[in-house]
Amino acid sequence: MSAVEHARALLKSAYRDFRALTGMQDSGLFADEIFGFHAQQAIEKGLKAWIAGLEIEYPRTHDISLLLTILQNHAQDMEPFWELVAYNAFAVQLRYEGLDMDDEQLARDTVIDDVQCLLTRAASEVSARGERGIRGPG
Supply the pTM of this predicted model: 0.88
pLDDT digits (tens, 9 = 90+) for 80-129: 999 999 999 898 655 555 555 555 789 999 999 999 999 999 999 999 87
pLDDT exceeds 50 at position 63 = yes
8 Å CB contact between 108 and 24: yes
Which structural domain range is residue 29 located in? 3-131
In a domain, 15, yes or no: yes
In a domain, 104, yes or no: yes
pLDDT digits (tens, 9 = 90+) for 4-52: 899 999 999 999 999 999 999 999 999 898 999 999 999 999 999 999 9
In a domain, 138, yes or no: no
Minimal CA–CA distance to 49: which of 113, 123, 131?
Answer: 123
pLDDT exceeds 70 at position 131 = no
In a domain, 16, yes or no: yes
In a domain, 11, yes or no: yes
In a domain, 137, yes or no: no
Q: Give the count of domains, the chain.
A: 1
Domain of 104, CATH number, reads: 1.20.120.330
